[in-house]
Chain A
Amino acid sequence: MKPADEIQALFGGAKVTTKSARDDAVFEMIAKVYAQKTQSQSTPCEPKRWRLAMKSPIVRVASVAAIVVAMLWISPFGGGPVSFAEIVRPILNAQTVIMDTIVGQDEDGPIIHDVVKGSRIRRTSPGMSNVMILDLDAGRMLTFDPETKGAAYVDIKGPLQEGTRSYLGLVRDIVVRLDERPDLRVKELAQREIDGRKAVGFQVSEPNLTLTIWAGPETRLPLRIEMLQGQSFMIMKNIEFDVPVDDSLVSMEVPAGYTVASMEFDMTNFSEEDFVETLRLWAKLLLDGRFPEQLRLEDLMEAPISQEFGQLDLSAEEHMQLGTRLARGYMFLHVLAHGVGYTYAGEGVKLGDAEKAIFWYRPEGSETYRVIYGDLSVLDVTAESLALFKDNSDRQEDMR
C-alpha cells in the first residue's frame, strides 16, 4: 500500500460521533443566534446576490440557457426484465410529470423544477425568480421575470431543442428499446432508504451511460432517477405523475403587464468563437483577469457573474446578447464534453498570457488539435507539440 493510501485509510476509519442530548443543547444555542439574526433583517431574506441576478436581464437568459444546456446530449439506450418494466410503466404512460432535477452530485448541483405537459415544460429554479416555458415542438422558449416584469423569447431550434427533448424522452426510450438491445441487462440493487422511504433499485449501464431508478416497493412508482452520462451526473426526484396541470402554466403567451424585449435571441448555433468569448468574460469579469479553477456549469450559474454584468454600462438588449453569447459558449463546451472531449489547464493563468495553453481539443476527423492560449489566440497544433503542454501544466482537467 502506498504511504498516501495508508494515511487515507487511517483518516477514513477515524470517526467522531456525537451524543444526541448534547446535540440538541448545542443546536439550541446556534438556533437562538439564527433567530436573532433573521428577526433583525429589515428586508426579506432573499439574498442580495440573487436579487442582483434577477435585476440583470443578461443572467436571466444566460442562466436559462445554461440550465437547458445541461440537459443536452442525452442518448437513448435499452435493457431489461419485467419488474423493471413495471416500475417504469408510469414514466411511459404519464400525460404530465412534475419533478425536481439536480445537475451534479446530490450535494452540489443546481436544482431545476419542471412541470411537463406534452411537449411543453415550465421550468423554474430556487434562487431565480424567472420562469421559462419551453415549447419543444415549436423550438421556442419564453422567459419572464415576475420581479422585473421583463420577458423575452429565445429561439431554441436545433441541438438545444433536440437535446432537451431527448432528456425528457430518455427514460421512455430505455423501455421502448428494451428488445433492441439484448446485450444490456437490468441489475437489481439492494434495497435502501430514499428520503425516509424504502426503495428498490434497478440499474442499466452501457459504456457512456448509467441509469438507476429507485422506486417504492409497494407503490411501484419511481422515487428517484439517477443518470450518469460521461462526466455529467443528474438526479431526478420528487417525481409526480399525472398531476392535473392547467394549460395556463405552460402557455407561451406573455402574461399581462410584462414588457417583451423587442428582439428575439438566437440559441440555435454555437461555435468555438462563442466559447473563446465565454472564457474572456469569465476571466475578466469574474476572476480579476485569471482563468477559473474548473469550467463548471454550476459556476456559470452562480450570482457573482450577474453582479459583475449588472455593473456594465450596457443597454438591456446588449446585456441579453452578451448573456446569449455566454450560454452559447457553454453549449460548445458541453458538446465537446460529450463528444470528442477536451482538456482544460487554465487554472490561475492570466488572461493575456500568450505562452500558456489553457484549453485544447481535437475536432472530429482532424489530425491536429485546436489549442486556446491565455491571450485567447487559437492555433492548430500537432499531437507531438501538444505533449509539451502536458508536461508543463501541473493542473489539468480532462473531460472525455
Chain B
Amino acid sequence: MRNDRLLIWRLRRDDVDALRQLYDRYKGDLLKVAVILTGDVCRAEDVVQDVFLRLAQSYDRICIRGNVRNYLITCLVNRTRTLRREARHGQEAPLDPAIVQICPGPRPDQWAVLNEQMQQLGEAMRELPPEQREVITLRFEAGMGFRQIARIQSTSVNTVQGRCRYGMEKLRSVLNGEVAHETRR
C-alpha cells in the first residue's frame, strides 16, 4: 500500500489510479461518518460522492498537512453542514434526522451496506443535536483532539468539551433504552 501523500502527489500528476486508490481506501470510512451525520443512507451516499467529486475537481488547490483521511472527513463535515444550512433556507430537502425521511430498507441500487452495529449507532446518533453528533464523530471516529474540533466548528475548546460530554451522556442513555422509554412515555 503506497503512502497517502504519495497518492496525492500522483493525483496531481494526472494519475487516475491514485484517485481510485484513495477512493477505495476511504469510501467506507466516509460513508460511515456520513450516515452518522446525516442519519440517512441515501443522503450519506450523495455527500460522500460530493466529497470525492470535489477532490477530483480541486486536487491542485488542496493543501493537506495532516492525514488524508481526516482531511476528507473534515470536507464531509463541512459539506453536511452546508446541506443542513441550505435545508434550513428551503433550498434543499430537510437534513435534520428528526424530520428527515429515513430510507426504509436497502434499495436495489444502494451503495452502502451497514452492519448491525452500524445501524444501531446510526439510530442512536440521530437522537443527538447536529453539533454534538459532529463532535462525537470527529472525536471517536476521526480521533481528533478538542482543539482541532473547535477549529472545525469555529468555537471554543470549552464548548466542544461540553458538547462531547452531553453527547456522550445522551448517547449512553439512548443505547441503554432510557431515551426511547422517555419518548414512549
What residues make up the interface of A, taking CB atoms closer than 8 Å to B? 3-4, 6-8, 10-11, 13-19, 22-23, 26-27, 29-31, 33-35, 37-38, 41, 45-49, 102, 106-111, 126-127, 195, 293, 299, 302-304, 347-348, 394-395
Contacts and interface: CB of A to CB of B under 8 A. Distances in A.
Contacts of A27: 20, 23
Given A3-B172, A22-B109, A31-B56, A15 B28 contact: yes
Contact of B60 (A29, A30, A33, A47): A47
A26 B3 contact: no
Contact of B111 (A7, A11, A19): A19
Given A33-B57, A34-B19, A108 B3 contact: yes
Contact of A30 (B31, B35, B49, B157): B49
B5 A108 contact: yes
B163 to A, nearest CB: 14
B67 A13 contact: no
Most chain B CB within a 10 A radius of its CB, from A10, A11, A22, A35: A11
Nearest to A102: B3
B147 A48 contact: no
Contacts of B112: 16-18
A51 B4 CA distance: 20
A45 B15 CA distance: 10
Contacts of A45: 12-14, 60
Most chain B CB within a 10 A radius of its CB, from A48, A49, A107, A304: A107
A394 B3 contact: no
Given A18-B31, A46-B13, A11 B121 contact: yes
B93 interface: no
B9 to A, nearest CB: 5
B179 interface: no
B32 A16 contact: yes
Given A7-B140, A11-B140, A18-B31, 10 more contacts: A14-B32, A17-B112, A23-B24, A23-B111, A31-B56, A37-B59, A45-B12, A106-B3, A107-B4, A108-B3
Nearest to A10: B121
Nearest to A44: B13
Given A8-B140, A31-B56, A126 B111 contact: no
B99 interface: no
Contacts of A126: 6, 9
A30 B14 contact: no
B53 A30 contact: yes
A25 to B, nearest CB: 8
Contacts of A33: 53, 56-57
A354 B147 CA distance: 22
A6 to B, nearest CB: 7
Contact of A109 (B3, B16, B60, B118): B3
A280 to B, nearest CB: 20
A11 B115 CA distance: 12
A37 B19 CA distance: 13
B67 A107 contact: yes
A23 B57 contact: no
Contact of A31 (B1, B16, B148, B171): B16
A15 B115 contact: yes
A108 B71 CA distance: 12
Given A45-B60, A106-B1, A3 B168 contact: yes
A301 to B, nearest CB: 10
A17 B147 contact: no
Interface in B17-40: 19-20, 23-24, 27-29, 31-32, 35
A16 B4 contact: no
Nearest to B24: A23
Contacts of A31: 16, 19-20, 56
B145 interface: yes
A23 B16 CA distance: 15
A111 B7 CA distance: 11
Contacts of A14: 32, 114-115, 117-118, 120-122
Interface in B41-64: 49, 52-53, 55-57, 59-60, 63
B147 A293 contact: yes
B175 interface: yes
14 contacts: A14-B32, A14-B114, A14-B120, A16-B31, A16-B32, A17-B28, A17-B112, A19-B111, A31-B19, A33-B57, A46-B13, A48-B60, A107-B4, A110-B5
A303 B175 CA distance: 46
- 10 smallest beta-carbon distances between A and B, as pairs: A34-B56, A14-B118, A22-B111, A13-B117, A16-B32, A14-B121, A11-B140, A16-B31, A33-B56, A38-B14
